[in-house]
Amino acid sequence: MNNKLFSIILLSYYSNERIAKVFKMVSERMESENIPFEFIIIDDGSKDNSYELALELEKKDKRVKAYQLSRNYTSHYAKFAGFSVCKGACATSIPDDGQQPLDTYVEMYRQWEKGNKIVIPYRVSRNDGIIKDFFSRSYYRLMNALSVVKYPPGGCDVFLADREVIDIINERIHPINTSTTVEVLRLGYSPVFIPFHRPKVKSKSRWTFRKKLKQAADSFYTSSNFPIKLISYLGFLSFFFSFALIILTAIIKLSGAKSLAGFSIPGWATTVIFISMFSGLILLSLGIIAEYIWRIYEEVKDRPGYIIKKKEEDK
């Protein structure tokens, strides 16, 4: 292994028009900075000719390695796959849409040369529109408030990991219902954070709402025990509320009153309301517990988080 080699993992998904362009920009910049690198293309189950173009690029330049996943696993699992095959002393990922400036890759590498094991560039601004920006900021604030990981302001998608960290990711972390960002933030290693302004891009995002929702849920449940604690809090609250209601009911009955503060209290209405309320709490609690049980079930099945297809020459 080259002890200075920088592994750059391209997350390719329907990227046939972008692969050559991204590689050209990366190679020119790395060469100008005298940074030795390998360019790993992970095709995330594209149905177009993205992988074929990646293989052609691999034949033209020995620094390029192309792999294809057996289906679309989404970008975080493509990152896990890239880490499993990279040979560099440090590694990072790069999107194909230009949202991550190349300056941040040079800065990450320079920080790594200073001995930092994890380097994370984070967004200080984004131009996705008022609504998307609001939900993005709200999501990271919620995660920081309720989970054990602490995201930098504005959030992050890319990070550089030293070989020591890469080996931990490959050997100790099971890539199921999680994300690379959460797992790296949980490892410690005193990460260095680099601010950057994310440029506005015109390309349409292939990160659909459904994928975003699943990733948000996976990140939350894998890094937070708040939902389980919420059940306990609701249980205590329900207990004290019920206890207070019992005392209040006993007082009303013993006093012979038919109303409370001017409101009549028909027995059947009160009963139906409280049965409905507590039934809702029970169903909510079961749903939260079921989320964790399902994730435990997925873990014990020990299925791979991703599958890299064999190349023809490897068969």
The CA-CA-CA angle for residues 172, 86, 79, to 5°, reads: 65
Torsion of CA 249, 251, 257, 263, to 10 degrees: -50
Contact between 71 and 308 under an 8 Å Cβ cutoff? The reply is: no
Q: pLDDT exceeding 90 applies to what percent of the chain?
A: 31
Output the domain CATH number for residue 176.
3.90.550.10
The residues near 170 (Cβ < 8 Å, ≥ 6 apart) are 83, 84
Q: Which residue has the higher pLDDT, 311 or 313?
A: 311
Cα separation, 43 vs 190, in Å, equals: 31
For residue 265, the model assigns a pLDDT of 58
Structural domain of 286 = 226-301
Cα separation, 285 vs 234, in Å, equals: 9
Cα separation, 287 vs 228, in Å, equals: 11
Give tens-digit pLDDT for 221-244. 777 777 777 777 777 777 677 767
For residue 5, the model assigns a pLDDT of 94
Q: Rounded mean pLDDT of the chain?
A: 81
In a domain, 279, yes or no: yes
For residue 167, the model assigns a pLDDT of 93
Cα separation, 59 vs 313, in Å, equals: 13
Distance from chain centroid for Cα 136: 13
Write out the two tokens for 254.
């013993």
208 with 270, same domain? no
Stretch (H or E) spanning 280 = helix 267-301
Contact between 198 and 126 under an 8 Å Cβ cutoff? The reply is: yes
Give tens-digit pLDDT for 252-306. 666 665 665 555 555 555 676 677 677 777 877 787 788 788 777 777 777 888 8
Give tens-digit pLDDT for 59-94. 999 999 999 999 988 888 899 999 999 999 999 999
Look at the chain and report how many structural domains it folds into.
2
204 with 245, same domain? no
161 with 296, same domain? no
218 with 230, same domain? no
For residue 182, the model assigns a pLDDT of 85
217 with 239, same domain? no
237 with 180, same domain? no
> Which residue, of 194, 224, 254, is where some domain finishes?
224
For the cut 90, the answer to whether the pLDDT of residue 3 exceeds it is: no
For the cut 60, the answer to whether the pLDDT of residue 1 exceeds it is: no
Q: Which residue has the higher pLDDT, 50 or 253?
A: 50
For residue 91, the model assigns a pLDDT of 95
In a domain, 311, yes or no: no
